Amino acid sequence: MVDDRLNLPFTGLVSFMRVPTCTDLDAVDADIAILGAPSDEGSPWKPGARFAPRKIRELSIKYAGYGPDQHQLGYYDIDENRRFLEYERRHSRIVDCGDCDIVYTNVRRTFDNITHDVRRLLDAGVFPVVIGGDHAVTYPVVRAYSERLNVVHFDAHMDYRPFVHGVQWANGNPIRNVARLKTCHHIVQVGIRSLRTRQADVEDSRARGNDIVTIPDFRRRGPRAIVDLLPPDEPVYCSIDVDVLDLPLVPGCASSEVNGLTYDELRQTLLEVNPMLDVPADNTSQLAAQLIIEFLGRLVEHPGYRKRHPMRSATRAPRDHRRSRGRAKGR
């Protein structure tokens, strides 16, 4: 069905890539859900990541295609000469669920809201893509999963600070929080390089058995090495702080650092890893929008994903969501 509107990116109400919206998380009928977690109380320097989900949505519209003839559902990769996300966009298999409710001055309750929302999506067999907010939100997202998973953490910083001085839920703590979850198996931390890195955090992380891949490590061993560090055929959760990218790529990011990954290095690694679960993209920038879209484009082509979300014709009768997903080990 062709829309006769031009739909320039500065017009119209906003949702991620202009996909349908559904703010009632108990009524989601889709494969993939965009969910914002606009919390930034955990930021020790410039706050403002709270505006990231809204800004990323607005910028994602540039990739929605526009014009009656120009309509291109999904996107086209000129280097590979093929299309991605076309099916999903056409059949509304992606929805935008809006944002988790944020309770300012009460981070615990905010985190409960995030976990609750993600869990509702998981229970409905929907694949959640969570957009922060600062990196603290990774913990409440990951704890929503009931299955065993491994974590790949892209970041310039360890995010592994101990819980002292009454601070446990800030953006320096999430990976330490995640590491204590029973469901969390192996953790790989990629891109760590900040001068602010604490030696004790590095030691604690390694003591747990986590792998830390610095930028020189990464350059030496290549993206494939990240995959080799993960147990084969197990779910992988991907957490991306955009400051893993090099400083000039993310000038709007309050914690950006020199000597980071190029966009292509991160992209290639994501394609290698092919995480089966989800990606919270913290912080702000147009790169985040593009990264999410490219990530989704490859994700839905992955055999593991397709097995769980088989293609359906648009006219197919409403299916039983939960059964068709099945995330448990029995799958």
> Which DSSP state fits 196?
T
Residue 105 or 313 with smaller CB distance to its own copies: 105
Strands 82-84 and 75-77: antiparallel
- The reply on whether position 287 binds its own copies by CB under 8 A is yes
- The reply on whether position 79 binds its own copies by CB under 8 A is yes
- The reply on whether position 180 binds its own copies by CB under 8 A is no
Q: What angle do CA 213, 139, 236 make, to 5 degrees?
A: 50
CB of 313 vs its own copies, minimal distance in Å: 23
Figure out which of the listed residues 41, 155, 241, 282 binds its own copies, where binding follows CB under 8 A: 41
- The reply on whether position 20 binds its own copies by CB under 8 A is no
Distance CA 276, CA 233 (A): 10
Among the residue ranges 218-226, 232-240, 260-268, 312-320, the one whose residues contact its own copies (CB under 8 A)? 260-268
How far the first Cα of the chain sits from its last, in Å, is: 36
Helix, strand or coil for residue 138? helix
Distance CA 43, CA 150 (A): 26
CB of 127 vs its own copies, minimal distance in Å: 20
CB of 69 vs its own copies, minimal distance in Å: 4
Figure out which of the listed residues 28, 170, 240, 281 binds its own copies, where binding follows CB under 8 A: 170
Burial of 62 by CB count in 10 Å (0-12 exposed, 13-18 middle, 19+ buried)?
A: middle
Residue 215 or 273 with smaller CB distance to its own copies: 215
Residue 163 or 234 with smaller CB distance to its own copies: 163
Figure out which of the listed residues 93, 193, 325, 327 binds its own copies, where binding follows CB under 8 A: 193
Output helix, strand, coil percentages for the chain, rounded to the nearest 5.
Answer: 35, 20, 45
- The reply on whether position 8 binds its own copies by CB under 8 A is yes
- The reply on whether position 313 binds its own copies by CB under 8 A is no
Alpha helices in the chain (DSSP H): 52-60, 86-90, 107-123, 138-142, 174-179, 199-208, 215-221, 223-228, 263-273, 286-299, 303-308, 321-325
Figure out which of the listed residues 73, 92, 162, 274 binds its own copies, where binding follows CB under 8 A: 162
Figure out which of the listed residues 1, 26, 27, 69 binds its own copies, where binding follows CB under 8 A: 69
